[in-house]
Chain A
Amino acid sequence: MCVFGRDIVCVIVLIFSPALFAGEFPQIRYQSKDSFIKGVFEEEPKWKMIRLTSALKKSSKAILGHRYKGGRIRYWTGDGKTAWIIDEIGKEMPITIGVSVENGVVNSLSILVYREERGGEVYQSWFTNQFLGKRYQSDQRLVDRIDGITGATLSVAAVSKVVELVLMLDSHVGAIDEK
């Protein structure tokens, strides 16, 4: 029985299809979570979780412009600092953002994973360095206090919102610790 057609197609399917489509959905990992946390703290930090009460949920929504999907947020603490790793949607996909805070000001900011097709420039240090030393100001949005990036408006807004959220949460956990 002639099997020429079948074998040719099998070979085409097996050999050429990966060449046709090889690649994955866009995703750039700039830094692992572990490496970010190790970079923030000199000694092994403790990790904790903050439950989002209805008041915190309301404040988070005001900052993010949408409800935070989740009932709690994990953070790391030590050396008088807190570190947070939070996902926020840029356009379609979440950007994983690491932020650390010391004495109420931003101490470091890193884009850990970028999954959007465009706007990846937000990982560059000239952009992230703008946030260092920034404090939470409830009357002024952070996004209005930094230079944006043409073509990356949504990613810039996502990073700014996360930094603002972290500053708000840090002040909240600081207040709890003081009590």
Chain B
Amino acid sequence: MSNNKKVAIIIIIGLFLQGCATFSKSTFVSADPEQLDEWQVEGTISLEGENGVDGAYFRYTNVEGDYELTLHSDDPVGTPQVVVTGQESLTNESFTSGSDQSKKVLVEIKKNFDLEYLDYWLRGLPATENAELSQGEDGNLSTIREQGWEVRFEDYMEIGKYALPEKMVLTREDTIVDIDLVRGETGFINSPCPDYKAGLDVYIDEQSIHGDTIETLVPSSGAAPVPRWISDSGFCGQLYKIHGKIPDPRVGLYGPDSMMWKLSSPLAPGGMGAGRALLLQTAHPWITAAIDEHSIVRYDPVERARRTFVNVFTMVFGSMPQVMASANKVHRTHIEIEGKIAHPAGAFKKGSEYKANEINSMIWVHSTLWETLVLMYEELESPLTAEEKERFYQETKLFAMLFGIPEDALPKDWVEFLAYNRAMWNSPQLTVTDNAKKLRDDLFTPPNILMTFPLWIQKVVTAAHMPERIREQYGMEYGAWEKFNNAWLMASARMSQWMLPDVMGVSALRHEANARLEGVRVGPYQRMLVRELLGTERLVN
């Protein structure tokens, strides 16, 4: 049987077993697009009139009233051949190359539209009070009649918290204009942190610059490290540093040539390592206290994991505006997470203060992700050279900066990073509390029969890969039977990852990111996965 047939049969069986849940109706309701003050959409525009049909790829950007329309005829993400910029009635045009096609399209656009009208229609809004409106069942406008045009919205796409038109057909007398939009951005185009000012109080720690980073993070006395809080302006300052380093916002922080995308793309390493990373995090009493006292998903570890990975995936695979939106969201969420340790736990005294926006604890969370990913990648995919690990580690520093962690607070290279991880495993900073054990039980207790096998796999593989001291504190068994099960599970995962076609074995987010780089929509299968796995129509497309 051919691969395609097998995939098709598996999909049919899967859909049958999932029943109608697969096609659950979206409850998404758009926020008001009138309030979009930084946005961008791109796609194709095709005009059919008395002069025949003309079409081009286009990108329309509006940042606080300053707009830019670019046209290019050869490639969805090609160099703009026509650029029109302006603010309200002031318009400038420039032609960067001699494409007649793009110029012809611009002539037709200008002949037919007032660009200010298009600015509203592209958001699914009427331009004036004189417009006649019809509304669809979903609450979005289905038709606008205005300025002699009938603008029909045939489909909408979810971008962040907004629904923007995906397919529009505009008709006036003998002219028909088709606009197909493939993607867009809804904020963070101009500034990485518009809600904060980038201050000069970016964290500077003399000890970490001139002293031993590991000693600062993991004092050899066994005491807790001195807390180093992250201020709003310090956080914003770090984002500005990254913002200036990235040449192409479409590519995002990393891109297809990065080690980060190489290691994060296959499903098996991240999937099999998720339990280890989460339990290493909850072995830190601050993390456990924060989850216990502040998280609404205290009793839903899978939901908590999903929310964590939505942000992690966006930061890894997203465009710069998407990355910055995620970084700001996480920072805002963390601001309110603070409290006092209720019971003495290892290095942390009863009553000592904790906050989510603190450098030492954030470095620990950050480290659990990347140290685990490398460990699992090498077991399931292929060994990495020292140079590759070093490259990967240097790339992770950008990720850390998204949380406001300054580069000079991090271990300087991969070797020091590994030494830091080992020091933490043996430090009383990691102490498994009763609450952490409850989180472990929540994580591995299947909520329904379908989850029994996947969570059993997680439990076995997590126990096998956990540092010994932490595994013992969690009370996880790791005898001959568990070693045997881990061996065959890892072998199966390795073989599966190797044999799976890329469409299934590579993260849907990587497929979305690839589609974004090509200026197209990701395919329906990946869309379904993103919808079902992450609860949104698109994350990084």
Contacts and interface: CB of A to CB of B under 8 A. Distances in A.
Interface of A: 3, 5-25, 27, 29, 32-34, 47-49, 68-74, 85-87, 91-94, 96, 113, 115, 117-118
Contact of A3 (B139, B499, B529, B536): B499
A33 B34 CA distance: 15
Contacts of A73: 34
Given A10-B504, A70-B34, A117-B296, A17 B529 contact: yes
B197 interface: no
Given A69-B36, A94-B161, A24 B28 contact: yes
B139 A25 contact: no
B139 A6 contact: no
A99 B302 CA distance: 38
A17 B296 contact: no
Interface stretch (B12-20, B51-59, B91-99): B12-20
A41 to B, nearest CB: 16
Contacts of B29: 27, 29, 96, 113
Interface stretch (B105-113, B235-243, B312-320, B448-456): B448-456
B306 interface: yes
Contact of B532 (A10, A17, A25): A17
15 contacts: A5-B492, A6-B496, A6-B499, A8-B492, A9-B493, A9-B497, A10-B10, A19-B450, A21-B532, A22-B21, A25-B536, A29-B27, A49-B129, A94-B35, A115-B161
B24 interface: yes
A166 to B, nearest CB: 14
B303 interface: yes
B407 interface: no
A49 B332 CA distance: 33
A6 B26 CA distance: 31
Interface of B: 6-7, 10-11, 13-15, 17-18, 21-22, 24, 26-29, 31-32, 34-37, 65, 128-129, 133, 135, 139, 161, 267, 296, 302-303, 306, 329, 332-333, 336, 448, 450-451, 453-454, 492-493, 495-497, 499-500, 504-505, 529, 532-536
A10 B7 contact: yes
A14 B21 CA distance: 12
Given A23-B535, A96-B32, 18 more contacts: A5-B492, A5-B496, A8-B496, A9-B504, A10-B14, A11-B13, A13-B267, A18-B22, A20-B302, A20-B454, A21-B306, A21-B535, A22-B21, A48-B129, A70-B36, A87-B31, A94-B161, A96-B29
Contact of B32 (A9, A15, A17, A86): A86
Most buried by B among A3, A5, A117: A5
Contacts of A72: 34
Contacts of A24: 26-28, 535-536
Given A20-B451, A87-B31, A32 B139 contact: yes
Given A11-B13, A18-B22, A96 B532 contact: no
Contacts of B34: 70, 72-74
A69 B535 contact: no
Given A92-B329, A94-B161, A14 B302 contact: no
A11 B14 contact: yes
A44 B343 CA distance: 62
A70 B120 CA distance: 12
Contacts of A70: 32, 34-37
A91 B37 contact: no
A71 B450 contact: no
Nearest to B22: A18
Contacts of B504: 9-10, 13
Nearest 10 A-B pairs (CB), nearest first? A14-B14, A24-B535, A9-B496, A5-B496, A5-B495, A6-B499, A18-B532, A69-B37, A69-B35, A70-B34
B139 A5 contact: no
A68 B37 CA distance: 9
Most buried by B among A11, A22, A85, A91: A22
A27 to B, nearest CB: 6
B296 A118 contact: yes
Nearest to A23: B535
Contact of A7 (B6, B454, B534): B6
Nearest to B532: A18
Contacts of A69: 35-37
Contacts of B37: 69-70
A8 B454 CA distance: 12
Given A29-B27, A73-B34, A14 B11 contact: yes
A96 B35 CA distance: 12
A115 B37 CA distance: 20
A29 B26 CA distance: 12
